Chains A and B, each alone.
Chain A
């Protein structure tokens, strides 16, 4: 059983991760690189990097009473320094992105195959596809309603708080969806809807002020592109996980 779950997940994750890396190369990555031109130009021209502490309160002149807001720098200072390693732009950067996509694919596929096994019953590529659409709802649609995809250089609330909300929202969406799909009783369906809605009623952490250096057209394009790419990824991953899970049924050891 271990071999079946992990084997199917690794196979599906590797194939889907490689395929989505090729798609990203023509969709999201060019927009990220484009946005970074504005991000770097913006921070370096307007305020010297060294002048911005990790969080800073700026006073905007001319508004009568002084008006302070907090800026969380898009990239923390160390990243632009010499001590922190990062892949070189070009092939190296693309290879690291592909590696990340494959690992992400394996991670999600492990959750899918675990779900196949717990749910039981015959699993095919088509059933896997349905689970994949569920994954898309849990890991893309739910969290993105509160925290839309960000281009580099967009303004946002503090990282830790956003990450906490993101994970909480994904968990709530997953639990709520399971109650709705498998509960099959009206009270459980209503409870599922309420659990899915809860993180959005609480509200995602938002920045105190908006107006990052990246043009809204680019940010909007990126948000749409990343949701479309995530949909393609989940459809592939779901179908592949189901297909490999079915094919590895002999490996019960």
Chain B
């Protein structure tokens, strides 16, 4: 009986930590994608001029 309760609790904890891992991963991937698009693809002239040489070096479409 005790064992079963412990097992359930362990499962529950595992599910919860899996959810936290997924939430953190989604947040990291979204923020990474946002940064990448902002710095590599934004059409603003100021951002383009500031990032110009790096955009070319990373072979991103430029101008």
State the A residues within 8 Å of B (CB).
Answer: 1-2, 4-6, 9, 24, 28-29, 32, 72-76, 78-79, 84-87, 93, 96-97, 99-101, 103-104, 106-111, 113-115, 117-118, 120, 139-140, 143-144, 147-152, 156, 159, 162-163, 166-167, 222-223, 226-227, 229-230
Q: Given that A104-B36, A114-B26, A114-B28 are contacting pairs, would A76 and B63 also be in contact in the complex, using a CB cutoff of 8 Å? A: yes
**Given A2-B24, A104-B40, A109-B32; A97-B53 close (CB under 8 Å):** yes
> Given A84-B46, A117-B24, A117-B25 in contact, is the A107-B39 Cβ separation under 8 Å?
yes
- Choose among A85, A93, A104, A227 the residue that contacts B46 (Cβ–Cβ < 8 A): A85
- Distance in angstroms from B38 CB to nearest chain A CB is 8
Number of residues of chain B lying within 8 A (CB) of chain A = 39
Query: Judging by beta carbons under 8 Å apart, are A110 and B31 in contact?
Result: yes
B57 touches A117 (CB 8 A): no
- Nearest residue, chain B, Cβ from A139: B58
A85 to B49, CA, bound (A): 7
CA gap between A93 and B53 in the complex, in Å: 8
Q: How far is the CA of A76 from the CA of B45 in the complex (A)?
A: 9
> Please, how many angstroms separate the alpha-carbon atoms of A239 and B31 in the complex?
21
Instruction: Give 15 new A-B contacts, CB below 8 A, not counting A32-B56, A159-B62.
Output: A2-B27, A28-B57, A29-B53, A84-B45, A84-B46, A85-B45, A103-B39, A104-B54, A113-B28, A114-B29, A115-B25, A140-B58, A163-B60, A230-B58, A230-B59
| Contact string against A for B residues 1-40, beta-carbon threshold 8 Å, 1 for contact and 0 otherwise | 0000000000000000000111111111101111111011
By a beta-carbon cutoff of 8 Å, the part of chain B in contact with chain A is 20-29, 31-37, 39-41, 43, 45-46, 48-63
When A93-B53, A167-B41 are in contact, do A114 and B32 touch as well, CB less than 8 Å? yes
- Which residues of B have CB within 8 Å of A144? 59
Evaluate contact between B63 and A28: CB separation under 8 angstroms: no
A110 and B28 contacting across the interface, CB-CB below 8 Å: yes
List the B side residues contacting A167 at CB < 8 Å: 37, 41
Contacts of A108 in B (CB 8 A): 32, 36
B59 touches A5 (CB 8 A): no
On chain B, the residues within 8 Å of A97 by CB distance are 51-54, 57
Given contacts A74-B63, A149-B59, contact A86 B29 (CB under 8 A): no
9 cross-chain CB contacts under 8 A = A76-B45, A85-B49, A87-B50, A97-B57, A111-B32, A117-B21, A148-B59, A150-B63, A159-B62
A140 CA to B59 CA, complexed, in Å? 7
Most buried by B among A1, A2, A28, A106: A1
Contact A156 B56 (CB under 8 A): no
B49 x A79 contact (CB < 8 A): yes
Residues on A with beta carbons closer than 8 Å to the beta carbon of B62: 150, 152, 159
For residue B26, which residues in chain A have a CB less than 8 angstroms away from its CB?
A: 114
Contacting residues, chain B, for A106 (C-beta < 8 A)? 32, 35
